[in-house]
Amino acid sequence: MANSMDYDVIIVGAGNGGLTCANEIASNGYRVLLLDKHNLPGGVASSFVRGRFEYEASLHELCDLGTEEHPGKVKLLLDRLGVSEPFENEMTLFRTVVKGENGYDVSVKAGREDFVRSMLEICPESGKSLEKLLKLLDSTAKALEYNERTHGKPSKLVMLLKYSGFLISASHSLDDVLLSLGFEDKARSILETYWSYLGVPANEINAFHYLEMMFGYINGGAAVPRNRSYAISLALADRALDKGCEIRLDSEVTEFILDGDRICGVKIASGEEFRAREVVSNIIPHNVANMLPSDKVRDRDKKLLNARRFGISFLCIYIGLDVSAEELGMNYTTFISDSLFSDRNTLRRQFPDVYVVNCLNAVVDDATPPGTSTLFITVPVYPQYFMEDVTAGNYRAFKNAAAEHYIDDCERTLGVSIREHIEEISVTTPVTFARYFNAPEGTAYGYELSHWDGLMARMLDKINKFDFDGLTFCGGHGETGDGFGVTYLSGIEAAEKVVRSLRFKDRLTKIRNITRIARKDADKSAANVSGKPAADASGKPAAKASGKMKGA
């Protein structure tokens, strides 16, 4: 059905990682096919329309966009790929409300100085600790630079002597590190507010991982795309097409094609098959393993997958209101919780008492028609607790009950009137993630970044990653975890690896061809005219190389 080698690279899944990966590989001149099961590119980076409202589907705010003067990694990446979608910058990081006697209702500002000032206003006694925290972060940044300078092979002694702060934050939980810096409860609680963005409570999340993200926000504020994250997805798709990438939507990959123990192509639902020199998967290793013959998956990989826990999922409530953001009195991001600290048990219930409310119009004023606004309520949930009593028959009623619970709570806590202004409402659950993304257990965040499988552990443990010849992964289930900025960057990392491999093989082929010609010449000059092709030792790689020639 298909040629021996249709593409240099096939990318399965046009999520954030798949899209940036396609751009990066195509701009290196390779032939790329990007496939997605859905009829839109972007994966969760999407939006949807109900009545006169267009909801952002998943993005709260982009980290690492930086400022005009100091653009962050993600901004530089989008610029480099030619994405010029406009952003709004929100310099209030968040309002966070903890209910109850020891609770608080405070707002924290972005920008290093404003951040410290706003924290000191709330917790005057935290000055020393904040100073230490900032020092720790600077030292961490230096440690990362050193790590990069040494190409990921730093001297243990140097690390221990010069960067022990980094080593401590890299090997302890956020809560422990903040405690060690001397933060009192209230300050610690406020500093831990973002935990739900990573899906792991503060007593389990790797401190380095969390603090790196938090400082992205502190330095640059929260960036929100003017036209929803879906616009970035379409822009990335457009740029990929410009670079000669082929995109096939509505094309679910149902099977990986093997050549011995190597992945050499894919089959899509229509029955068509495509072959490539390299395959990149934006889909989670669990689903890849399920699509491969069991005996081809190494035991070590099965153990890895069985050991891992899936990340949290979300209940999302999207509300279109016939009242403006000002009348409603909402700012962009409000975290609401019942207690100062959350741990695993906080989520081990049907309706966890911790959630985020976003009012897009507070930062993108014309996101909906005048006199209207949208609210986006996000609740981190463990599906097994959240969906315990749910059946297909009561699913719809359950969604409404869940929405009602959080709308009531939000009204009571913030003293705003939501219910009477609801013009449109949609509720998504782990089932939605399962439906659109085939996400196992409806995970929104790939694998849980819990301590043993946290960011640092994944980065350091080079041996234990799902490994299959010919296959490279990108996306939120990868080493660097979930989040928009991180997944955009994961695509680039995968692309770099794939391009290196392609280049290496191309060079190898070139050398082989040269030696073959040289040998032929030698054979000829030896007047040996047997007509036998010159040493067929190259075998498989040579066959692949000829495929490449066709493709190129």
Span 292-351, contacts to another protein by CB under 8 A: 294, 297, 299-300, 302-307, 313, 322
122 or 457: CB nearest another protein: 457
Residue 292 beta carbon to another protein: minimum distance, rounded to whole angstroms: 10
179: its two tokens: 């405690």
Applying CB under 8 A, what is the total number of residues that bind another protein? 104
Residue of 134, 258, 340, 457 interacting with another protein (CB under 8 A) = 457
Residue 91 beta carbon to another protein: minimum distance, rounded to whole angstroms: 24
**Run of H or E residues at 347:** helix 344-347
Residue of 76, 269, 518, 535 interacting with another protein (CB under 8 A) = 269
Q: Which of 191, 187, 196 is nearest to 215 (CA)?
A: 191
Q: Site mask, another protein, residues 212-231, x = CB under 8 A?
A: ---------------xx-xx
Residue of 255, 327, 441, 479 interacting with another protein (CB under 8 A) = 441
Give the distance from CA 116 to its chain's centroid.
Answer: 29
Neighbouring residues of 449: CB distance < 8 A, sequence distance ≥ 6: 198, 199, 200, 205, 206, 209, 311, 455, 481, 482
Residue 277 beta carbon to another protein: minimum distance, rounded to whole angstroms: 19
183: its two tokens: 């933060």
Residue 278 beta carbon to another protein: minimum distance, rounded to whole angstroms: 21
CA distance 513 to 469: 24
Residue of 29, 51, 152, 244 interacting with another protein (CB under 8 A) = 51
438 or 538: CB nearest another protein: 438
165 binds another protein (CB under 8 A): yes
Piece in contact with another protein (CB under 8 A), picked from 92-100, 192-200, 331-339, 385-393: 385-393
Residues 59 and 88: beta-carbon distance below 8 Å: no
CA dihedral sign, ordered 261, 266, 267, 269: positive
275 binds another protein (CB under 8 A): no
Residue 237 beta carbon to another protein: minimum distance, rounded to whole angstroms: 8
141 binds another protein (CB under 8 A): no
Residues 25 and 278: beta-carbon distance below 8 Å: no
205 binds another protein (CB under 8 A): no
84 binds another protein (CB under 8 A): no
Piece in contact with another protein (CB under 8 A), picked from 111-119, 438-446, 471-479, 531-539: 438-446
Q: Which of 545, 8, 81 is nearest to 277 (CA)?
A: 8
Residue 464 beta carbon to another protein: minimum distance, rounded to whole angstroms: 5
258 binds another protein (CB under 8 A): no
517: its two tokens: 């010609």
Residue 279 beta carbon to another protein: minimum distance, rounded to whole angstroms: 17
Residue of 112, 117, 135, 503 interacting with another protein (CB under 8 A) = 135
Place of tokens 């926000």: 217
Residue 549 beta carbon to another protein: minimum distance, rounded to whole angstroms: 20
467 binds another protein (CB under 8 A): no
Query: Restricting to residues 86-125, which ones interact with another protein according to CB under 8 A?
Result: none
Q: Are strands 253-259 and 262-268 parallel, antiparallel or unpaired?
A: antiparallel
85 or 259: CB nearest another protein: 85
Residue 165 beta carbon to another protein: minimum distance, rounded to whole angstroms: 5
396 binds another protein (CB under 8 A): yes
73 or 451: CB nearest another protein: 451
Give buried/exposed letters for 260-271 (b at 16+ CB in 10 A, else e): eebbbbbbbeee
Residue 367 beta carbon to another protein: minimum distance, rounded to whole angstroms: 9
Residues 242 and 30: beta-carbon distance below 8 Å: no
Piece in contact with another protein (CB under 8 A), picked from 23-31, 116-124, 290-298, 486-494: 290-298
Residue of 238, 273, 506, 523 interacting with another protein (CB under 8 A) = 238
144 binds another protein (CB under 8 A): no
337 or 448: CB nearest another protein: 448
Q: Where are the alpha helices (DSSP H) in 373-483?
A: 383-386, 395-414, 430-437, 455-460
CA dihedral sign, ordered 407, 410, 413, 414: negative
266 binds another protein (CB under 8 A): no
Residue of 140, 374, 429, 472 interacting with another protein (CB under 8 A) = 429
Neighbouring residues of 226: CB distance < 8 A, sequence distance ≥ 6: 85, 86, 87, 88, 364
CA distance 438 to 431: 9
List the Cα angle 325/193/446 in 5-degree steps: 95
91 or 159: CB nearest another protein: 159
Residue 197 beta carbon to another protein: minimum distance, rounded to whole angstroms: 21
Encoded amino acid at 92, one letter: T
CA distance 251 to 320: 32
Residue 460 beta carbon to another protein: minimum distance, rounded to whole angstroms: 5
303 or 500: CB nearest another protein: 303
344: its two tokens: 């695993």
141 or 522: CB nearest another protein: 141
Residue 332 beta carbon to another protein: minimum distance, rounded to whole angstroms: 19
Residue of 73, 99, 132, 516 interacting with another protein (CB under 8 A) = 132
How far CA 152 is from CA of 126, 139, 462, 501, 551, in Å, comes to: 35, 17, 11, 19, 35
**Which residue(s) pair with 96 in the sheet?**
106, 335
For 447, list phi and psi in degrees, rounded to 5. -95, 145
